[in-house]
Amino acid sequence: MNQPIVPLFLPRRVSDHSQLREWPSVPFRRPTLQSVRRRGGPDDGVPDAAASAAVDGASSASPTARGRSATPTTAPPVDPPVGAADLPSPASRSRAVWAVVITGLALFMASLDNLVVSTALPVIRVNLHAGLSGLEWTVNAYTLTFAVLLLSAAALGERFGRRRVFVAGIALFTASSAAAALAPTIGVLVAARALQGAGGAMIMPLSLTLLSAAVRPERRNAALGIWGAIGGTAIAIGPLVGGAVTSGWAWQYIFWLNVPVGLALLPLARWRLAESRGAAAPLDLVGVGLVSVGLFGVVLGLVRGNAHGWTSPSVLAAFVVGTLSLVAFVTWELRSDHPMLDIRLFARRGFASVNVTALLFSFGMFGAIFFLTQFLQTVQGYSPLSAGVRILPWTAVTMVLAPFVGQLAERWGGKPLVVTGLALQAVGLAWLAVILAPGTPYADMIAPFVLCGVGMTLFFVPLASVVLGTVPSSLEGVASGTNAAFRELGGVLGIAALGAVFSARGGYASPHAYVSGLVPAVACGAGVVAIGALCALALPSRRRLHLDVDPLQVPVLVPATESVAS
């Protein structure tokens, strides 16, 4: 599942020049070339030539002027207020605004289309005569291709151009959305969802890269905050939008909504975003192929196990091929000069634990929510819109609590919040497993829904800084992409595994049959999340602040109450 992407919470006084309001009166010192260049540079609006000219001008001043400057007196501040040279040009401001709008809309479209399907699943099952496996693949086809191609899509952008690959992703996502809306069978819908996942994998990482490149360093933190808030909002309102569209029109329109947005974004992205490239490292096509076959085989075996028998030749073959392919993937990545996923990173205890924790969290939570959204409609008879509204205490609480949790992460670090969030999520799922029955009042479900929402917020908000704190700054991009892929894979495996538990104990024949399968599936999800909480105890105790952060990404300002000796 696409998760809310929360940017790194930075220490105070590092995000915006506007924080410095008052300038102290300090003894004047003639600037040196090094001090001028340290306080001004190409990225601060003061070019190197200007810095040299400033020093030369000070050196060539008249003796009288030099004599006056030698007298102790009150002089201008060490770091003068931002002047005209520091202000962004109208073209620069326009480019930044367009980047926020275009990348934000693309992110919203790709993120919304994941959970928007959840409240439409019961209607899709009836209209397309689909079984449980068809519904599982409707969700997993998107998530699986998204997770597998996420790391490779960024490499494609570095080689062929970030804007070009980003535009190609929007085009693919838009075309596959139309194909999904026109799907006459569940098989065609699953194929279209897989193509949507590939397009989403091209959109998600490159939207962040393009936005970061278009915004000035001192405004980048705010822009990334907007970007993360857009993704979180799309996740939160996905079930509500899906229910409203399905109730008001038809389930096909949850996909048609993407088409006009995508068609509008295509020319805007082509005209308003600047092209850029990175180091053209070789693509690890062998790694992509091996991990794709491996994960597909394992998920296929889980989905078909109950229907065909766990010892049937087809199921055993799927597991064997999948397992061997994953082993071959690990072996290949260890030997490759340009691996898609650097397996050696997992030798770090913090990096390994944060990724395993993310996988287990998504396994339990998204596996459970897959069946709970159907429970509200299939068993309790709510419309898709009513079901979407009733799931809001779980999904929308993130938007309310995220700012406060961010402040707690600044003060306490990420580990206690992550552990607490996983524990609350496990308790909430276990609570639901105990009380769920065909006649359970919705009022009894509100408290565990809220508890699950609080747990999800405590987990997601500090996760980005925890991940980045486990690796050197030079590997932060790889670490972030790896963790996102693990979260997606956790959702895929969770839906497949809990679907096997559900189909072994119940089904869609009657409300009682559905609850008979739902209760053990949700209880299993609670147990997996609880294991994730235990794994989270191995995380670093405090978020490690890197001293070698790139100054172009995090402009460090001197507080107004301090002075700098040149």
Q: What is the pLDDT of residues 162-203, one digit of tens each?
A: 889 999 999 999 999 999 999 999 999 999 999 998 999 888
- Whether 80 has a pLDDT exceeding 70, the answer reads no
Domain termination site, one of 271, 289, 307 = 271
In a domain, 83, yes or no: no
264 and 389 assigned to the same domain: no
Beta pairing partners, 74: 27
**Could you give the CA distance from residue 122 to residue 116 in angstroms, rounded to a whole number?**
13
CATH code at position 387: 1.20.1250.20
In a domain, 423, yes or no: yes
- Whether 558 has a pLDDT exceeding 60, the answer reads no
49-63, 145-159, 166-180, 335-349: range with highest mean pLDDT: 166-180
pLDDT in tens, 399-413: 788 778 877 877 887
Of 250-259, 375-384, 446-455, 468-477, the poorest mean pLDDT is in 468-477
pLDDT in tens, 256-280: 989 999 999 999 998 888 887 766 6
Residue 189 makes CB contacts below 8 A (sequence gap 6+) with 124, 128, 138, 180, 183
421 and 515 assigned to the same domain: yes
- Whether 480 has a pLDDT exceeding 80, the answer reads no
180-189, 458-467, 535-544: range with highest mean pLDDT: 180-189
- Whether 542 has a pLDDT exceeding 70, the answer reads no
**pLDDT tier at 446 (50, 70, 90 boundaries)?**
very high
The predicted pLDDT at position 360 comes to 94
The predicted pLDDT at position 37 comes to 42
The predicted pLDDT at position 527 comes to 94
Closest CA to 169 of 137, 200, 142: 200
The predicted pLDDT at position 89 comes to 67
In a domain, 562, yes or no: no
What is the residue type of 301? Answer: G
Average pLDDT estimate for 67-72? 42
- Whether 151 has a pLDDT exceeding 90, the answer reads no
213 and 343 assigned to the same domain: no
252 and 360 assigned to the same domain: no
Residue whose pair of structure tokens reads 């992460």 in the numeric block: 409
Element (H, E) at 64: helix 63-70
The predicted pLDDT at position 279 comes to 66
- Whether 566 has a pLDDT exceeding 70, the answer reads no
155 and 245 assigned to the same domain: yes
- Quick one: how far is CA 483 from the chain centroid? 9
The predicted pLDDT at position 170 comes to 94
- Whether 23 has a pLDDT exceeding 70, the answer reads no
Compare 410 and 381 and report the one with higher pLDDT.
Answer: 381
Report the chain's mean pLDDT, rounded to a whole number.
Answer: 77
The predicted pLDDT at position 556 comes to 34
In a domain, 524, yes or no: yes
- Whether 441 has a pLDDT exceeding 90, the answer reads yes
**Could you give the CA distance from residue 176 to residue 110 in angstroms, rounded to a whole number?**
12
CA distances from 107 to 111, 228, 229, 298, 438 (A): 6, 9, 10, 29, 37
Q: Is 559 left (phi over 0), alpha (psi -120 to 50) or beta?
A: beta
Domain count along the chain: 2
The predicted pLDDT at position 191 comes to 94
**Could you give the CA distance from residue 83 to residue 350 in angstroms, rounded to a whole number?**
44
In a domain, 318, yes or no: no
In a domain, 376, yes or no: yes
**Domain extent at residue 433:** 338-546
3-class SS at 358?
helix
In a domain, 51, yes or no: no
- Whether 291 has a pLDDT exceeding 60, the answer reads yes
**Could you give the CA distance from residue 107 to residue 116 in angstroms, rounded to a whole number?**
14
Q: Confirm if 457 and 397 have CB atoms less than 8 A apart.
A: yes
In a domain, 563, yes or no: no
The predicted pLDDT at position 242 comes to 86
**pLDDT tier at 20 (50, 70, 90 boundaries)?**
very low
Q: Confirm if 132 and 186 have CB atoms less than 8 A apart.
A: no
**pLDDT tier at 50 (50, 70, 90 boundaries)?**
very low
Average pLDDT estimate for 514-535? 94
The predicted pLDDT at position 543 comes to 43
240 and 374 assigned to the same domain: no
257 and 381 assigned to the same domain: no
The predicted pLDDT at position 528 comes to 94
The DSSP code sequence of 122-140 is HHHHHHTT--HHHHHHHHH
- Whether 33 has a pLDDT exceeding 60, the answer reads no
Domain termination site, one of 229, 254, 271 = 271
423 and 501 assigned to the same domain: yes
**pLDDT tier at 477 (50, 70, 90 boundaries)?**
low
Q: Confirm if 422 and 466 have CB atoms less than 8 A apart.
A: no
Backbone angles phi, psi at 54, to 5 degrees: -65, -40
101 and 235 assigned to the same domain: yes
Give the chain's end-to-end CA distance (angstroms, integer): 51
359 and 267 assigned to the same domain: no
362 and 267 assigned to the same domain: no
Domain termination site, one of 271, 293, 312 = 271
- Whether 428 has a pLDDT exceeding 80, the answer reads yes
Beta strands in 2-148 (DSSP E): 26-27, 74-75
Report H helices in 379-442.
Answer: 384-390, 392-395, 397-412, 414-435
479 and 376 assigned to the same domain: yes
**Could you give the CA distance from residue 272 to residue 94 in angstroms, rounded to a whole number?**
9
**pLDDT tier at 431 (50, 70, 90 boundaries)?**
very high
The conformation of residue 551, written as its DSSP 8-state character, comes to: T
Which tokens go with 285? 């096509």
**pLDDT tier at 88 (50, 70, 90 boundaries)?**
low
pLDDT in tens, 197-212: 899 988 888 887 788 7
